[in-house]
Amino acid sequence: MIKPTTELAARTRQWLIENGFTVKDDALWLAALTHGSTGAKRDYQRLEFLGDRVLGLTVADWLFERNPGAEGQLAQRLNVLVSKGNCAAVARELGASEHILLGKQAREDGAANSNNVLGDVTESLLGANFLDAGFDATRTLIHALWNNQLEGDTGRSKHPKSALQEWAAGNQHRGPEYELVDRSGPDHSLRFTVRVTVPKVGHAEATEASKREAETSAAKAFMKQYG
């Protein structure tokens, strides 16, 4: 365990401001960037919970206003746009890794580049911005950070699990069965291996940072091999 940092670094404060965040309460933003491995009294978990909801509402509202599609299509895009992997991609674009406060072992284990940690930090930063600046300002920030994905094709194609389900039904096979076959790694960098099987056809496996992502990748691998 390392001695917890008690002040937000000046370079980190400047980085946040340059990327559109509204920084008033330094302690709040310090918590938003602090991983539990530091031993600090406040870390990002509660802010992550809040930011996840703010992000979900903002993206759902944007999709509802801009897209005439059916509920299923809207839900498909929403799930992709707010996924842990997509949040991690936003964090990487911002260069968040070097500003995350981690315990020595967690950093040596690669937590600063973990999809789980980066995705969580993105959500915690949004939670902190909501508390410091309110919903309207955070909605504007999300629109800016997610602009390329919102205006582009992210999430528009059929989800691999849906595609596999329809393929199995269309070819008169039983539906796909997903099984978690392995879970490994430290808590901040977990790896999940999932096997998907279509009886009397075959199976495929994939390993990702979350069970949901592993199921998606396994379905994609199955379709590539058998579809």
Question: Would you name the residues annotated as active-site residues?
Answer: 52, 123
What is the rounded distance in angstroms from the CA atom of residue 88 to the CA atom of residue 139? 18
Residue holding tokens 């809040």?
50
Q: What is the DSSP letter of 101?
A: B
Rg (CA), the chain: 19
What is the rounded distance in angstroms from the CA atom of residue 116 to the CA atom of residue 85? 8
| CA neighbor of 221 nearest in space, from 184, 188, 194 | 194
Q: Return the SS3 of 7.
A: coil
What is the rounded distance in angstroms from the CA atom of residue 161 to the CA atom of residue 50? 28
What is the rounded distance in angstroms from the CA atom of residue 145 to the CA atom of residue 195? 34
As a three-state string, the secondary structure of 142-196 is HHHHCHHHHHCCCCCCCCHHHHHHHHHHHCCCCCCEEEEEEEECCHHHCEEEEEE
User: Are 155 and 78 contacting, i.e. CB atoms less than 8 angstroms apart?
Assistant: yes
